[in-house]
Structure 1
């Protein structure tokens, strides 16, 4: 199976992992529709790609997107909401938004797109290494990623033969850590490069290759691919 003449809906931002995934799908011959909350920013990032607006936390918005887009072969969702912090400082609303965006949003996408997807289509979600490797200050992120892993397994059974998988990244240099500042980010990357078995930090290109693999391997379903350089092992 290839992505030639296939339509792939990619949900996320105009940069980082979503951008790498979009570019990789197009290079593999797929036709892409990108969607997110900020249609103006997406249009600037993808001047030659169809752009749609969607809020995955709002069922009416997801349903309207499905109606506008119509039949698709694959749906890739990189949507997330930041929810880092120690348990004593976590705002319940922030935790709820994280879960609504990444977990409930995935369920809504499945609900409204599975009925207009071929039997050999698939959903590809994004989990994260924190689901299996706890870290202080990452409780809400871990809970959200763990929920995504559970959703993947359940949907793979319920929607069969449509496939459902996730990519579970470790530390990826995608812009997600830029808020730390150059010095702290460099320290983080150096420390994790020293301890993980791959001895480096991941790149959006690493993730993009995994995206194409997950979309095109027709015997892969119900799996969260640990793309973390072995970070979960140490």
Structure 2
């Protein structure tokens, strides 16, 4: 099984790679990758990546950025960071990637706890996560050739507590193992249109 992992060098991407590396061939793509660079805010960059990689059995996207600011201070331009990256970037990975995905393949996108459990300064991120979640649920009923699509919605990783703990006050950090298993379920399971919440 050949899996394209977009966002492989991020905290979640590293967890996914460790969980699946012994069972699949994983192509690691990221913004800073020397071999498989990709910017998901650029359709041309996404297309170039798939042209280079060729056909795959699964696509996992853990990439996506958002600007954190209170709504009274956020500008439309700052809000577009999440729209263009976390939301449209992942949707475009699906729209373009479908043409390179083998029959009965899987797509797994990444959302996050903020769409269900709000924090101050996180409304833009929550918006993008919610949009991706709704897209997955709707797109699942239209997927061709037996292709499945799901999303994983992780909370703060235990290993990220030192970096993000002050933002996620009162949140229970989750283990890399639990998050990795959610992606494993999406890749190897039979469900589609699901959101695997790891909170």
Query: Do the two structures share a fold, i.e. TM-score over 0.5?
Result: yes
1:33 to 10, 17, 27: 27
- What are the Cα deviations for residues 132-175 of structure 1, in whole angstroms up to 9, with x where unaligned? 23332211111011011011112212224211100011222343
Corresponding residue SS for 1:85: coil
Runs of 4+ that moved beyond 4 A:
none
Question: In structure 2, what is the equivalent of residue 18 of structure 1?
Answer: 13
Q: Distance in 1 between matches of 2:82 and 2:156?
A: 19
1:135 to 110, 113, 119: 119
Q: Could you list the runs of 5+ residues in structure 2 that have no partner in the other structure?
A: none
Question: In structure 2, what is the equivalent of residue 162 of structure 1?
Answer: 147
Q: Shift in Å at residue 221 of structure 1? A: 0.6
Question: How does the TM-score come out when normalised to structure 2?
Answer: 0.91
Q: Distance in 1 between matches of 2:18 and 2:99?
A: 26
Question: In structure 2, what is the equivalent of residue 192 of structure 1?
Answer: 171
2:182 to 210, 214, 223: 210
- 1:103–1:151 contact (8 Å) kept in structure 2: no
Corresponding residue SS for 2:69: coil
Q: Distance in 2 between matches of 1:121 and 1:169?
A: 22
Q: Distance in 2 between matches of 1:130 and 1:10?
A: 23
Question: How does the TM-score come out when normalised to structure 1?
Answer: 0.78
Q: Distance in 2 between matches of 1:92 and 1:38?
A: 27
Moved more, 108-117 or 59-68: 108-117
Q: Shift in Å at residue 61 of structure 1? A: 0.7
Question: In structure 1, what is the equivalent of residue 198 of structure 2?
Answer: 227
Q: Shift in Å at residue 179 of structure 1? A: 5.6
Residues 1:100 and 2:84 are matched in the alignment: yes
Q: Distance in 2 between matches of 1:15 and 1:108?
A: 19
Question: In structure 2, what is the equivalent of residue 78 of structure 1?
Answer: 62
